Amino acid sequence: MKNSCGKTNCGEQRRKWRADGIPQVLSAIVCLALASSALARSPLHDRVLDLREQSRLNPEQVLEQLFKLEPQMGSEAPPARAELLAQISITQERLNQIDVALINADKLIAYGTALHDDAIVAKGMLTKGWVFYGRNDTKGAQRLVREAETLARRSANPALLAQTATAAGEAADEQGDFPTALAKLQLAVDTARKVTDDPVPLLNALKTLIRLYIHAKEKEKAYAALDELQALVKQQPSLVRTVQFKTAEYNVNDSFGEPRRAQLALLDSLALQRQLGLKGMLTSTLDNLSDSYLRQSDYARAAQYASEALSLAKGSNVTAGEAVAHINLGHAYLGLRRVAEGKGQYEAGLAWFEKSGDKPQLQEVLLEYGQALENAGDLHSALRAYHRERILSSELFEVERRKSMLELQEKYEAEKRQHQIELLSNENRIKSAQIDNHRLRQRIWWLLSMVFGVTTLAVGLLYRKVRHANAALATKNLELKVLSTHDPLTSLYNRRHFQDHMHGAPASGQGQPADNTIGALFLLDVDHFKHINDSYGHAAGDAVLKIVAERLRVALRGTDMIVRWGGEEFLAYLPTIPCDGADDIARRILNEISATPVRYGEHAITVQASLGFAPFPLAYRHMPLPWERVVNLIDMALYLAKTQGRNRAYGVQGFSDARHATLDVIEKNLEHAFHMGLVGLSVVLGCAPDHASQPCA
């Protein structure tokens, strides 16, 4: 697991474990902006700037020395006094003294306001934004960055303009507004190139631009910006800047499928961080190195780096870095077949994510945990982990569904209110025209015909405008309906559409025994999909999902409903099939999926899948089961296919009349229920991998 607490909710660890995130960039911007606000600096001012560099390494000692400088600031110029206040606030935030850090940031803003100095006020707002990020008030921090940018535009200082534009671009990137972020950061880079006496504005702007290109998946542009950053660091060499470059180099290579180059950058960065004593960054780097070796299945080295990260992160409170180290160490131990130790480490890391409330990250960790246990041979524990992940997945889906519904409802209400406002405005204009017409008729009768004509024309134009608005609204509503029912990647139906369809469908299904047909549900999961993502990148994974969707369309009929169920899972609902045709359909799906490798660039990716299926409706003790229970049963059948070797399908045929077992017991262990004769299963094997290109019987 990578240590990448950023947009996920990592609590107060946000700044400490994101080595190149907004807070770090914003801290550098604040310090640099204050340093560049005066052309000539006093020795005391230079001393404050020296302490600024040391603050990252030893904040306790630096804060004590900054307080000792306060009495000597009486005769200093405003930039020096502002610099001292900013450094005190930033160092206090690094020590998690949020309340007093916020007080000093407000003092800095008040000081600049009293002097009518927009530059100092802007720096104060950036400092306060840094503190807001420290207490996880992202919206407040972004608002302060925007206000600082507005003030900076009044200044002729290119360094200040570049720094505020960098912070604004980073804030837009965090919000997912890539076009705005790109415009801001390109402005920041262009402006920073004009600063000839200090390389740091350009350094910060390039780092932030690289991160944006990574998020936007612009590979060539990311590497071009990285080359410019490397050239800049070579012109103005320092160990700290080299560490920052190596961090950026790791992020770019790791994001664009160059794991070996990313690992070498991490090792270089680790050596420099040890030399500088950057303990906070060391933990993050060690976590990422451990993850790198895990992806190479080098479990011994992964355990070594995870253990070192764990020893560094140990403290009074469990931090995100410590949690990641626990999980990586647990994964390595499971890979080394030290199952008991691995489970203990994994559970220690999971406890932190459960406490933090970061459910999406917890779901990802549980899925990795289940796969690691499965690979280690502990299938019982793997099943428990998958069950925990499935429960959490359902909770997250429900939250997301409610959020989407609220967003759609709010958008509809806003459009409705806007439409009502337009109608009222039109009515007011018509009434005003009628009043004017009445007055004119009383005063000048010979102008009546002209006034009437003008009024009629105005009403006609307004009526035409309303018709056009209604037509546009209807078109938008149709587009929203399509977007709300389809998956954007595969263009298949999404889970919500399927649920709405099933809730509205008759409980008995559409197939009827009288005409020798039934309905059926098929649940498909792409085999080794995580390996595809890790080996070829997420873009390759997306390409595989698109091809799987196309092959499902080929294997099934146009009247069948194919659904992107989530991740690499697909669900198909066939309303009518022959009573004995489910196995043949499962075999056709397996063979179609694995018929030919997926071409991605120069790679030929072998794709196979596992299936669980059952007739629908499916009766238990002569009572039709709800579709949700049938989906859960075929999910268990799918898991059974996974544990029995993959590239195969297990179908639930029906249940015995045994009274000593409940449906819950059958669901918990489908294989055991089959061996006990409680449930009937059929097995369909797919083509062997080495004959994927040959037709299968």
Same domain, 596 and 450: no
| 637 Cβ neighbours under 8 A, 6+ residues apart | 523, 611, 612, 613, 614, 650, 651, 652, 670, 681
Report pLDDT digits (tens) over 548-563.
999 999 989 988 999 9
User: What kind and span of H or E run contains 609?
Assistant: strand 609-616
Lowest mean pLDDT among 84-88, 354-358, 541-545, 614-618: 354-358
Same domain, 620 and 544: yes
Same domain, 404 and 526: no
Report pLDDT digits (tens) over 105-120.
999 999 999 998 888 8
Q: Are strands 569-578 and 517-526 parallel, antiparallel or unpaired?
A: antiparallel
CATH of the domain at 241: 1.25.40.10
Same domain, 88 and 228: no
Task: Say what the pLDDT of residue 16 is.
Answer: 32
Q: Higher confidence at residue 171 or residue 260?
A: 260
Average pLDDT over every residue of 462-489: 81
Tokens representing 498?
């399927």
Indicate whether 242 belongs to any domain. yes
Indicate whether 673 belongs to any domain. yes
Q: Find the domain containing 66 and state its range.
A: 1-152
Give 26-94 as a DSSP string: HHHHHHHHHHTT-SS--HHHHHHHHHHHHTTT-HHHHHHHHHHHGGGGTTS-HHHHHHHHHHHHHHHHH
Task: Say what the pLDDT of residue 9 is.
Answer: 33
Indicate whether 559 belongs to any domain. yes
Q: Higher confidence at residue 657 or residue 384?
A: 384
| 592 Cβ neighbours under 8 A, 6+ residues apart | 551, 552, 554, 555
Same domain, 175 and 138: no
Indicate whether 321 belongs to any domain. no
Tokens representing 376?
């280690």
Cα 235 from chain centre: 36
**Rounded Cα gap, residues 37 and 89, in angstroms:** 18
Task: Say what the pLDDT of residue 27 is.
Answer: 52
Indicate whether 163 belongs to any domain. yes
**Rounded Cα gap, residues 243 and 239, in angstroms:** 6
Q: Single out the residue of 627, 649, 629, 632 nearest to residue 640, CA to CA.
A: 649
Instruction: Tell me how far CA of residue 693 lies from CA of 435, 485, 690, in angstroms.
Output: 81, 35, 8
| 535 Cβ neighbours under 8 A, 6+ residues apart | none
Please report where in the chains the tokens 């085999």 appear, as a residue: 527
Q: Give the single-character DSSP code of 514.
A: G
Mean pLDDT of the chain: 82
Report pLDDT digits (tens) over 579-598.
888 899 999 999 999 989 99
Same domain, 148 and 160: no
Task: Say what the pLDDT of residue 319 is.
Answer: 67
User: What kind and span of H or E run contains 563?
Assistant: strand 561-566
3-state secondary structure of 3: coil
| 335 Cβ neighbours under 8 A, 6+ residues apart | 294, 297, 299, 302, 342, 372, 375, 376
3-state secondary structure of 681: strand
CATH of the domain at 64: 1.25.40
**Rounded Cα gap, residues 499 and 381, in angstroms:** 31
How confident is residue 545, by pLDDT bands cut at 50, 70 and 90?
Answer: very high
Please state the length of the chain.
697
- b/e 525-559 (16+ beta carbons within 10 angstroms → b): bbbbbeebbbebbeebbebbbebbbebbbebbeee
Task: Say what the pLDDT of residue 13 is.
Answer: 35
Task: Say what the pLDDT of residue 7 is.
Answer: 35
How confident is residue 530, by pLDDT bands cut at 50, 70 and 90?
Answer: very high
How confident is residue 280, by pLDDT bands cut at 50, 70 and 90?
Answer: low
pLDDT for residue 693 is more than 50: no
How confident is residue 621, by pLDDT bands cut at 50, 70 and 90?
Answer: confident
3-state secondary structure of 565: strand
Instruction: Tally the domains of the chain.
Output: 4
Q: Are strands 493-494 and 561-566 parallel, antiparallel or unpaired?
A: parallel
pTM score above 0.75 = no
Same domain, 18 and 136: yes
Q: Of 128, 152, 176, which closes a domain?
A: 152
Helical pair 178-192 and 200-215, crossing angle rounded to 10 deg: 160
Average pLDDT over every residue of 343-355: 85
pLDDT for residue 54 is more than 70: no
Which of 126-135, 203-212, 409-418 has the highest average model confidence (pLDDT)?
Answer: 203-212
Long-range contacts of the stretch 469-474 (C-beta < 8 A, 24+): 469/419, 469/422, 473/415, 473/419
Task: Say what the pLDDT of residue 349 is.
Answer: 82
Long-range contacts of the stretch 685-689 (C-beta < 8 A, 24+): 685/590, 685/647, 685/648, 686/587, 686/590, 686/591, 686/593, 686/594, 686/608, 686/609, 686/647, 686/648, 686/649, 687/590, 687/591, 687/594, 687/595, 687/647, 688/647, 689/594, 689/606, 689/608, 689/647
Tokens representing 121?
């006020």
Indicate whether 567 belongs to any domain. yes
Q: Single out the residue of 362, 360, 333, 361 nearest to residue 345, CA to CA.
A: 333
Average pLDDT over every residue of 630-652: 91
Average pLDDT over every residue of 643-654: 90
Amino acid found at 414: A
- b/e 157-167 (16+ beta carbons within 10 angstroms → b): bbbbbbbbbbb
Same domain, 413 and 464: yes
Average pLDDT over every residue of 333-354: 86
266 HSE (CA, 13 A, CB side): 26
| 580 Cβ neighbours under 8 A, 6+ residues apart | none
**Rounded Cα gap, residues 187 and 158, in angstroms:** 11
CATH of the domain at 666: 3.30.70.270
Instruction: Tell me how far CA of residue 453 lies from CA of 189, 432, 440, 449, 460, in angstroms.
Output: 58, 15, 13, 6, 11
Terminal-residue alpha carbon distance, the chain = 42
Report pLDDT digits (tens) over 4-37.
543 333 333 332 333 344 455 455 555 555 444 4
Amino acid found at 603: H
Task: Say what the pLDDT of residue 696 is.
Answer: 46
Average pLDDT over every residue of 420-433: 88
Q: Of 221, 246, 275, which closes a domain?
A: 275
CA dihedral 191, 196, 201, 207 (to 10 degrees): 90
Q: Single out the residue of 558, 525, 548 nearest to residue 649, CA to CA.
A: 525
Please answer whether residues 686 and 641 qualify as being in contact, where contact means their C-beta atoms are separated by less than 8 angstroms. Answer: no
Instruction: Tell me how far CA of residue 275 lies from CA of 132, 270, 282, 382, in angstroms.
Output: 31, 9, 11, 41
Please answer whether residues 618 and 585 qualify as being in contact, where contact means their C-beta atoms are separated by less than 8 angstroms. Answer: no
How confident is residue 503, by pLDDT bands cut at 50, 70 and 90?
Answer: confident
**Rounded Cα gap, residues 16 and 6, in angstroms:** 10
Indicate whether 43 belongs to any domain. yes
Q: Of 485, 504, 520, which closes a domain?
A: 485
Q: Which residues pair with 598 in a beta bridge?
A: 605
State the burial class of residue 109 (Cβ atoms within 10 Å of its Cβ: 0-12, 13-18, 19+): buried
Q: What percent of the chain is modeled with pLDDT above 90?
A: 19
Q: Which residues pair with 600 in a beta bridge?
A: 603
Same domain, 408 and 503: no
Q: Single out the residue of 572, 638, 632 nearest to residue 609, CA to CA.
A: 638
Same domain, 603 and 668: yes
Please answer whether residues 483 and 475 qualify as being in contact, where contact means their C-beta atoms are separated by less than 8 angstroms. Answer: no
Kindly state the greatest CA–CA separation across the chain.
102
Q: What percent of the chain is modeled with pLDDT above 70?
A: 88
Please report where in the chains the tokens 């960065």 appear, as a residue: 269
Same domain, 146 and 212: no
How confident is residue 88, by pLDDT bands cut at 50, 70 and 90?
Answer: very high
| 297 Cβ neighbours under 8 A, 6+ residues apart | 335
Indicate whether 539 belongs to any domain. yes
Task: Say what the pLDDT of residue 138 is.
Answer: 81
Same domain, 180 and 127: no
**Rounded Cα gap, residues 383 and 371, in angstroms:** 9
Average pLDDT over every residue of 65-76: 88
**Rounded Cα gap, residues 329 and 129, in angstroms:** 36
**Rounded Cα gap, residues 592 and 557, in angstroms:** 13
Report pLDDT digits (tens) over 285-306.
888 988 888 888 898 888 888 8
Average pLDDT over every residue of 313-328: 73
Give 118-153 as a DSSP string: HHHHHHHHHHHHHHHHHTT-HHHHHHHHHHHHHHHT
